[in-house]
C-alpha cells in the first residue's frame, strides 16, 4: 500500500547531496533531459545540494566515492524505469525516489501489467501480442476490427505507438513498434476521452482530461503541439471523479507502484474506465500532466519536486 513519506523534511540540508539521474540511452532521452533541467532549477531555488548525471555510469562512480546521499530518478524507459536502476541502488543501499524494483518491472512491461490488472478485475483493453519476428498479425485485426492501436511493450511517451486503419497501416505500425523492442501488442480502439490521474504518496491528484486535434495523444501532442488542450478540473461530476480516482489508486497499488506516478485511462460513453498503463516516472516538462494536476490543488512545482524527493525516505 502506498504511503506518504514517513519523515517530512523541512531543511534542504537533510536530503544530503542528491544525484539527479536523467537522460540515458532510451528513446525517451530527450523528454528526460527536458524534465531534468526543470527539476535541477527547482533544486537550486530550494537550496537542495545536487549533481546531475546523464546516465547511470557517472552516478555509480559518484556513489562509490561517497558523494551521493540519495537519487531523484527521472530517467525514463529501459534502464531507468524498468527496475534495473532501482535494483542496483537497493544493493548499494542508496535511497531512490518512487517505485521499487518489482513495481518498476511490472509497470514498464505493458503485457505483464495488463495481465496483472485483468487478474485483479481491473478493466483494461483486451490485446494480442505479436511474437518477435512473426509476420502473422492479421488475427489481431480479425479479432478486433479496425482501427487498432499498436504499441511496443516496454516504452513510454507514446514513442512507437500508432493507430492503424487498415492492413497496410497495421504492417507499418508493427514495423515501427519493433524499432523500440521485439515485444509488440495490438489493442482495439476504445471510443471515449482520455484521462490522467497523478498520484503523490497515497493521494490522487485532480484528474486531467485532454483534447487533441491529432488522431490520438501521441508524442507530438504530448511534447510539441500547442493545440493540445488540458482540462483540470476535468469536467466530470465530483462523485464520479472521486470514484475514478479511487479506481486509479487501486490500479497503481495492484502493480506495486509507490511514491508518485500517473495512471492513464479512457472513459467510454457509459462512464466505464479502461485502464491503459501506470507510469512510475512521469514527465516533468512544462507540458507534463502531474505538475499541472498538482498546481490545480495548490502544489507548486517546487513543492512537488520536494515531495517527490521525500518519497526516497
Residue 3 in domain:
no
Catalytic residue among 283, 288, 307, 312: 283
Catalytic (active site) residue 230: no
β-strand pairing of 18-22 with 50-54: parallel
Q: Say whether 283 is catalytic.
A: yes
Cβ atoms within 10 Å of 22's Cβ, excluding its own: 25
| Vertex 295: Cα angle to 290 and 301 (nearest 5) | 75
Is there a single domain that holds both residue 167 and residue 204?
A: no
CATH of the domain at 174: 3.30.1490.20
DSSP codes of every residue in the chain: -----SS---SGGGG-SEEEEE--SSTTHHHHHHHHHHHHHHHHHHT--EEEEESHHHHHHHHHTT--SEEEE---STTTSSSHHHHHHHHHT--BSS--HHHHHHHH-HHHHHHHHHHTT------EEE-TT----HHHHHHH-SSEEEEETT--TTTT-EEESSHHHHHHHHHHHHTT-S-EEEEE---SEEEEEEEETTEEPPPEEEE-SSSSS-HHHHHT-S--EEESS-SS-HHHHHHHHHHHHHHHHHTT--SEEEEEEEE-TTS-EEEEEEESS---STT-HHHHHHHHTT--HHHHHHHHHHTT-
Is the same domain home to 237 and 116? yes
Confidence at 3, pLDDT banded by 50, 70, 90: very low
Is 279 an annotated catalytic residue?
Answer: yes
Tell me which of 23, 24, 28, 218 is the catalytic residue: 28
Assigned domain for 94 exists: yes
Give long-range contacts, CB 8 A cutoff, 24+ apart: 142-147: 144/186, 144/187, 144/188, 144/189, 145/188, 146/170, 147/189
Catalytic residue among 38, 187, 277, 310: 277
What confidence score (pLDDT) does residue 132 get? 67
Write down the catalytic residue from 34, 38, 264, 310. 264
For residue 156, pLDDT beyond 70: no
Looking at residue 1, its pLDDT comes to 37
For residue 242, what are the domain limits? 107-123+190-310
Residue among 2, 258, 279, 312 flagged as catalytic: 279
**Catalytic (active site) residue 264:** yes
Question: Do 261 and 113 share a structural domain?
Answer: yes
Grid cell digits, residue 271? 462512464
- Both 194 and 160 in a single domain? no
Residue-wise pLDDT tens digits, 61-76 = 999 999 999 999 999 9
118 plus 71 within the same structural domain: no
Q: Quick one: pLDDT at residue 4?
A: 43
Same domain, 206 and 182: no
**Arithmetic mean of pLDDT, 261-279:** 95
* Cross-strand bridge partners of residue 233: none
Which among 104, 113, 157, 248 is annotated as catalytic? 157
**Distance (Å, rounded) from C-alpha 190 to C-alpha 268?**
7
DSSP calls for 272-293 = -EEEEEEESS---STT-HHHHH
Least confident of 113-127, 252-266, 279-293: 279-293
Average pLDDT on 301-310 reads: 96
Angle between helix axes 238-254 and 110-119 (nearest 10 degrees) is 110
240 shares a domain with 179: no
119 and 235 both lie in a single domain: yes
Catalytic residue among 262, 307, 310, 312: 262
Q: Is 103 a catalytic residue?
A: no
> Same domain for 289 and 158?
no
Per-residue pLDDT tens over the stretch 71-118: 999 999 889 999 999 999 999 999 999 999 999 999 999 999 999 999
CB 249 within 8 A of CB 2: yes
Judge if 112 and 219 occupy the same domain.
Answer: yes
Domain assignment present for residue 5? The answer is: no
CA pair distance 52, 228, nearest whole angstrom? 31
Number of domains the chain contains:
3
Together in a domain, 174 and 194: no
Cell of 178: 519493433
32 is a domain residue: yes
Q: Is 157 a known active-site residue?
A: yes
Q: Tell me whether residue 277 is one of the annotated catalytic residues.
A: yes
Using left for φ > 0, alpha for ψ between -120 and 50, and beta otherwise, residue 235 falls in left
In the predicted structure, residue 291 carries a pLDDT above the cut 90: yes
Residue 180 a catalytic site member = no
CATH number at residue 303: 3.30.470.20
7 within domain boundaries: no
Q: Indicate whether 87 and 111 sit together in one domain.
A: no
Amino acid at each position: 500500500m502506498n504511503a506518504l513519506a514517513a519523515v517530512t523534511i523541512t531543511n534542504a540540508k537533510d536530503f544530503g547531496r542528491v544525484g539527479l539521474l536523467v537522460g540515458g540511452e532510451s528513446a525517451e532521452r530527450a523528454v528526460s533531459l527536458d524534465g531534468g533541467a526543470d527539476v535541477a532549477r527547482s533544486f537550486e531555488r530550494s537550496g537542495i545540494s545536487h549533481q546531475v548525471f546523464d546516465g547511470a555510469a557517472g552516478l555509480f562512480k559518484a556513489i562509490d566515492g561517497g558523494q551521493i546521499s540519495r537519487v531523484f530518478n527521472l530517467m525514463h524507459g529501459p534502464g531507468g524505469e524498468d527496475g534495473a536502476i532501482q535494483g542496483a541502488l537497493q544493493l548499494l543501499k542508496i535511497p531512490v525516489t518512487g517505485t521499487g524494483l518489482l513495481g518498476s518491472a511490472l509497470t514498464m512491461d505493458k503485457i505483464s501489467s495488463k495481465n496483472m490488472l485483468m487478474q485483479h478485475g481491473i478493466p483494461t483493453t483486451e490485446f494480442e501480442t505479436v511474437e518477435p519476428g512473426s509476420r502473422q498479425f492479421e488475427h489481431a485485426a480479425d479479432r478486433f476490427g479496425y482501427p487498432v492501436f499498436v504499441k511496443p511493450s516496454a516504452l513510454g511517451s507514446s514513442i512507437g505507438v500508432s493507430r492503424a486503419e487498415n492492413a497496410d497501416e497495421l504492417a507499418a505500425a508493427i514495423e515501427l513498434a519493433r524499432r523500440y523492442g521485439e515485444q509488440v501488442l495490438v489493442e482495439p480502439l476504445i471510443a471515449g476521452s482520455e484521462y490522467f490521474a497523478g498520484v503523490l504518496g497515497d493521494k490522487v491528484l485532480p484528474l486531467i482530461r485532454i483534447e487533441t486535434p491529432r488522431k490520438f495523444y501521441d508524442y507530438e501532442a504530448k511534447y510539441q503541439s500547442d493545440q493540445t488542450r488540458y482540462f483540470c478540473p476535468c469536467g466530470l461530476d465530483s462523485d464520479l471523479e472521486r470514484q475514478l480516482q479511487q479506481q486509479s489508486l487501486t490500479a497503481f497499488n495492484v502493480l506495486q507502484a509507490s511514491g508518485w506516478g500517473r495512471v492513464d485511462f479512457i472513459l467510454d460513453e457509459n462512464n466505464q474506465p479502461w485502464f491503459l498503463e501506470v507510469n512510475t516516472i512521469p514527465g516533468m516538462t512544462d507540458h507534463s500532466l502531474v505538475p499541472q494536476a498538482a498546481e490545480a490543488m495548490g502544489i507548486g512545482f517546487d513543492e512537488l519536486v520536494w515531495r517527490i524527493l521525500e518519497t526516497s525516505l
